């Protein structure tokens, strides 16, 4: 049995908005039947091999479990409108509705980038030239707009070098060794930073170059209504549907 999780993960989904709208416009029972029959995966966008993605069966089962838990009736409306109506009629609360949208996000994601929150400073501060005082700052929309701009101006290898050199500097300031003979974790950690910086660079530039993709970022244990930004904040997706 594994021990308790000691770190919080930051997760950044790259969502195909065409797929999101297509599945969101299916009837409630249509979505349920596709998930139950294993055919919802046929709607999913192709996975990006440079990113992580949940297995088809896992995304289908998680969506099914949520739909079973809320027990909503199909009254001839699409998936998104059914959730909207259930919130309006107080059958489910707002956050429960947002949980359903989050499951849809996972289905429609071409892949995601994930990093320990305690490491995320390394990937933000040096590139943006800022000092983060509160971890909440790393989820602000302005930060992600700046990250996308800055990442388009730097090569992947240069970004990796920037992060690794900063990591080494921080270790030295803490009086920790950089000798791999004294600490065998140094080389694997360096390799991990290299892999994560390359995939983060790739994700942001892929999103910037493709108007059919949107970033939705969140963290473990954060209410799903707070995932994402602007019109692609999960809470805002619900609110916009409530206004229709």
* Residue 7 belongs to a domain: no
Residue 3 confidence (pLDDT) above 60? no
User: Quick one: 181 and 108 in the same domain?
Assistant: no
User: Quick one: 45 and 79 in the same domain?
Assistant: yes
Instruction: Give Cβ neighbours of residue 115 (< 8 Å, ≥ 6 apart).
Output: 9, 10, 123, 196, 200
Whole-angstrom distance, CA of residue 194 vs CA of residue 180? 17
**Across 229-236, average pLDDT:** 96
* Residue 167 belongs to a domain: yes
**pLDDT for 5:** 46
Contact yes or no for 72/39 (Cβ under 8 A): no
Q: What pLDDT digit, counting tens, does each position of 4-54 carry? A: 444 689 999 999 999 999 999 999 999 999 999 999 999 999 999 999 999
User: Quick one: 124 and 43 in the same domain?
Assistant: no
What CA dihedral angle connects 23, 9, 194 and 58, to 10 degrees? -40
**Across 223-241, average pLDDT:** 93
User: Quick one: 136 and 105 in the same domain?
Assistant: no
User: Quick one: 78 and 147 in the same domain?
Assistant: no
- How many folded domains does the chain comprise? 2
* Residue 215 belongs to a domain: no
User: Quick one: 202 and 123 in the same domain?
Assistant: yes
DSSP 8-state secondary structure symbol assigned to residue 111: E
Instruction: Give Cβ neighbours of residue 135 (< 8 Å, ≥ 6 apart).
Output: 117, 120
* Residue 95 belongs to a domain: yes
Query: How confident is residue 178, by pLDDT bands cut at 50, 70 and 90?
Result: confident
**pLDDT for 240:** 82
Domain membership of residue 56 as a residue range: 18-112+222-242
Whole-angstrom distance, CA of residue 235 vs CA of residue 12? 16
Percentage of the chain surpassing pLDDT 90?
A: 76
Write down the pTM of the prediction.
0.90
User: Quick one: 68 and 43 in the same domain?
Assistant: yes
Q: What pLDDT digit, counting tens, does each position of 200-219 carry? A: 999 999 999 999 999 999 99
User: Quick one: 130 and 196 in the same domain?
Assistant: yes
């Amino acid at each position: 049995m594994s021990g308790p999780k000691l770190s919080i993960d930051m997760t950044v989904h790259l969502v195909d908005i065409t797929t999101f709208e297509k599945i969101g416009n299916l009837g409630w029972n249509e979505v349920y039947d596709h998930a139950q029959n294993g055919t919802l995966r046929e709607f999913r966008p192709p996975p990006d091999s440079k990113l992580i993605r949940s297995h088809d069966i896992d995304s289908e089962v998680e969506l099914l479990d949520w739909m079973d838990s809320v027990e909503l009736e199909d009254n001839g409306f699409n998936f998104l409108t059914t959730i909207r109506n259930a919130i309006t009629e107080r059958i489910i609360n707002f956050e429960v509705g947002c949980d359903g949208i989050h499951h849809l996000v996972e289905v429609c994601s071409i892949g995601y980038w994930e990093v320990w929150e305690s490491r995320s400073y390394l990937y933000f501060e040096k590139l943006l030239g800022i000092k983060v005082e509160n971890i909440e700052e790393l989820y602000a929309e302005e930060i992600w707009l700046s990250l996308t701009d800055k990442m388009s101006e730097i090569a992947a290898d240069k970004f990796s070098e920037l992060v690794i050199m900063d990591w080494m500097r921080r270790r030295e300031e803490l009086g920790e060794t950089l000798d791999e003979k004294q600490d065998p974790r140094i080389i694997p950690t360096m390799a991990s930073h290299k892999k994560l910086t390359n995939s983060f660079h790739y994700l942001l530039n892929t999103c910037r170059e493709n108007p059919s993709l949107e970033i939705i970022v969140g963290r473990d244990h954060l209410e799903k209504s707070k995932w994402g930004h602007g019109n692609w904040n999960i809470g805002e997706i619900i609110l916009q549907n409530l206004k229709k």
